[in-house]
């Protein structure tokens, strides 16, 4: 199969398409024939080397690229009962997971069946490919804050991949949500359920919690009331606590059951799947360049 890998360390900023043996699922695993693989800022972190602290490459130091996949299950390993060949499925897969042969930017992706979810008929597979990483991150981070109890939540980067889902899920859970984004994002934020959208942060500590998807760090923390909560998206980069604010961050983990909920909410139109466009694997470099240029809303999706 064709797959996109980083080049060995020292040649950062480059990816290559390699031919690998077609992988086969082991016990409890399924093989997804990729139809769409969204690209995310995390892919750039891995290409650039910043994310390599979190993952190890193959013996040459290369890493598979891509975390999101949607496609058709075309092989199932022993002891898989929830997925049959032919099922439309999506999953989050880490390139350093023991079962990973490459990233999701590959023709076939192996995942444990427990990490995957069926894609509802109403959701296009290319749209489904944009859902796993960012919706799971948003749902898992939000869960760390406990029940909403009508508290006020500030979301920075609120129109981004993670932030957009946080706004929608938090509003639905009963938070009063303020989204910090660009002026042009106001309509999206209103659709997602934000009570308010802002483009700059005032010098006040009005919020019970902030989810800092734009990595504004100290600036975001200053918006939180004494003994409130700061939630970061990048472990080890979060600001130091002050005024009794609890500072937490977390890294997403695959969760097939939660992903099924996220895809169901997508099918119902409660979560918006945002896709910028598609590009074939052979042109992945163009997609990474477009993402790097910034200002995107939604995801580029690679196709086989």
Ligand X SMILES: NC(=O)c1ccc[n+]([C@@H]2O[C@H](COP(=O)([O-])OP(=O)(O)OC[C@H]3O[C@@H](n4cnc5c(N)ncnc54)[C@H](OP(=O)(O)O)[C@@H]3O)[C@@H](O)[C@H]2O)c1
User: CA angle at residue 143 from 110 to 38, to 5 degrees?
Assistant: 35
Torsion angle in degrees (nearest 10) through CA of 184, 186, 192, 198: 120
Binding flag, residue 180, ligand X (CB under 6 A): yes
Compare residues 268 and 292 and give the one whose CB is closer to ligand X.
292
Binding flag, residue 40, ligand X (CB under 6 A): yes
- What residue number has its CB nearest to ligand X? 160
Question: Closest distance between ligand X and the C-beta of residue 1, in Å?
Answer: 26
Indicate the burial class of 16 (C-beta count within 10 angstroms; 0-12, 13-18, 19 or more).
middle
Binding flag, residue 210, ligand X (CB under 6 A): no
Asked if residues 79 and 28 have their Cβ atoms less than 8 Å apart, the reply is yes
Binding flag, residue 223, ligand X (CB under 6 A): no
Taking CB under 6 A as the criterion, the residue among 70, 89, 162, 287 binding ligand X is: 162
Compare residues 195 and 250 and give the one whose CB is closer to ligand X.
250
Binding range to ligand X, per CB under 6 A, among 1-9, 39-47, 122-130, 189-197:
39-47
Torsion angle in degrees (nearest 10) through CA of 118, 55, 18, 60: -150
Compare residues 116 and 216 and give the one whose CB is closer to ligand X.
216
Binding flag, residue 182, ligand X (CB under 6 A): yes
Binding range to ligand X, per CB under 6 A, among 15-23, 25-33, 40-48, 168-176:
40-48
CA 277 to the chain's CA centroid: 17
Binding flag, residue 160, ligand X (CB under 6 A): yes
Binding range to ligand X, per CB under 6 A, among 8-16, 28-36, 153-161, 170-178:
153-161
Listed in order, strand segments (DSSP E) in the chain are: 2-6, 15-19, 29-38, 68-76, 88-92, 108-112, 116-118, 152-156, 176-180, 196-198, 207-212, 224-232, 246-249, 275-280, 299-303
How many CB atoms neighbour CB 150 within 10 A?
9
Binding flag, residue 192, ligand X (CB under 6 A): no
User: Total binding residues for ligand X by CB under 6 A?
Assistant: 27
Q: Which of residues 262-301 bind ligand X (CB under 6 A)?
A: 294-295
**Contact mark string toward ligand X, 114..133, x via CB under 6 A:** -------------------x
Tell me which residues touch ligand X (CB under 6 A).
40-42, 45, 133-134, 137, 157, 159-163, 180-182, 213-216, 233-234, 250-252, 294-295
């Amino acid at each position: 199969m064709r797959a996109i890998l980083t080049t060995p360390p020292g040649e950062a900023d480059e990816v290559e398409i390699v031919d690998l043996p077609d992988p086969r699922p082991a016990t409890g695993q399924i093989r997804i024939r990729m139809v769409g693989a969204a690209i995310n800022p995390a892919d750039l972190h891995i290409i650039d080397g910043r994310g390599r602290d979190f993952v190890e490459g193959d013996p040459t130091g290369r890493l598979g690229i891509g975390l999101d996949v949607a496609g058709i299950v075309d092989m199932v390993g022993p002891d898989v009962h929830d997925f049959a060949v032919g099922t439309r499925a999506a999953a989050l897969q880490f390139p350093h997971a023991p079962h990973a042969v490459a990233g999701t930017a590959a023709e076939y992706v192996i995942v444990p069946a427990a990490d995957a979810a069926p894609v509802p008929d109403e959701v296009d597979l290319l749209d489904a490919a944009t859902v796993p990483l960012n919706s799971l991150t948003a749902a898992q981070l939000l869960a760390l804050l406990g029940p909403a109890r009508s508290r006020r939540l500030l979301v920075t980067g609120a129109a981004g991949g993670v932030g957009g889902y946080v706004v929608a899920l938090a509003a639905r859970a009963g938070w009063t949500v303020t989204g910090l984004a660009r002026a042009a994002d106001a309509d999206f934020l209103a659709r997602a359920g934000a009570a308010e959208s802002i483009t700059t942060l005032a010098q006040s500590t009005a919020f019970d919690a902030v989810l800092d998807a734009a990595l504004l760090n100290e600036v975001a923390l200053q918006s939180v009331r004494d003994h409130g909560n700061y939630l970061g998206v990048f472990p080890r980069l979060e600001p130091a606590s002050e005024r009794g604010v609890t500072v937490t961050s977390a890294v997403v983990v695959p969760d097939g059951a939660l992903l099924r909920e996220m895809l169901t909410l997508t099918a119902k139109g409660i979560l918006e799947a945002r896709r910028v466009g598609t590009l074939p694997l052979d042109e992945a470099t163009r997609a990474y360049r477009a993402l790097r240029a910034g200002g995107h809303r939604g995801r580029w999706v690679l196709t086989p």
